[in-house]
Amino acid sequence: MKIELTWLAHNAWRFCLGETVFAVDPFFQLPASPADGSMKADYVLVSHGHADHCADAEEILKKNSATLIAMAEVASWFGARGVQKTEPMNIGGSLPVRADGGRAEARVMMVPAAHSSTMPDGRAGGNSCGFLFSVPREGRENVFSGPLRPFSEIAAACRNIYFACDTGWIAEMPWLGTLGLEAAVLPIGDRYTLGPALSLDVIAALKPKKVIPCHYNSWPPICQDVQAWAEAVRKQGIAEPVLLEPGESHIL
């Protein structure tokens, strides 16, 4: 199954598992944003309630009759605004999702993020979160069924992609690093999230094959030299940095 990530500026992503499209933290209000609310998606994932992570979620959800995956409080807020399909979650929970146009099953786990969360109208948004996608490797399609086994064994049979979303250091990062991450999508803007220096410690803990930066250069307070960051990652030999311009894609 082809796994493709397209950066849509800031922390917005188009994440494809074959023919199934996931919109992650859709916010398209920046001049660099290459997408808008007409984006096609089967699922919309919202990590927390800040407008710069969900401003375009409602339009995408309603136009596509898409399914929202979000913290329970975030899902309830969108449900009250007329979104019909919601899958409320909380930290540590996982959810089966249909992948590759419904022909396969993957899992998304809601993992912690150290960040605040309020909805655009000021209501409480519950806890912030990140997302861990686990996609069975070829020949291991039945890994989620059968006898109960530790999640670490399930993850070993999967391709695992981690969206950290807005976060600082969290204690779970070394555990995530034991799962075998194919890719980690990390914020590096500093001030509101991880910065370039702290992200290097995070990458060392996560041990991903590839690391993709985001949540930087959107506004002056979070401007960073991403080339210098990538060189530091390479110098440490801890992961392969993948730099994207808004609208560019990377296939895993």
Mean pLDDT, to the nearest integer, of 79-83?
A: 98
Q: Chain-wide mean pLDDT for the chain?
A: 97
Is the confidence at residue 178, as pLDDT, over 90?
yes
pLDDT recorded at residue 146? 81
Which tens digit of pLDDT belongs to each residue from 122-158? 999 999 999 999 999 998 988 999 889 999 999 999 9
Which tens digit of pLDDT belongs to each residue from 234-251? 999 999 999 999 999 999
pLDDT recorded at residue 204? 98
pLDDT recorded at residue 215? 98
**pTM summary value:** 0.98
pLDDT recorded at residue 28? 98
Where do the domains of the chain lie, and which CATH numbers do they carry? 3-240 (3.60.15.10)
Report yes or no: 60 and 41 within 8 Å, Cβ to Cβ.
yes
State residue 17 phi and psi, 5-degree precision: -110, 95
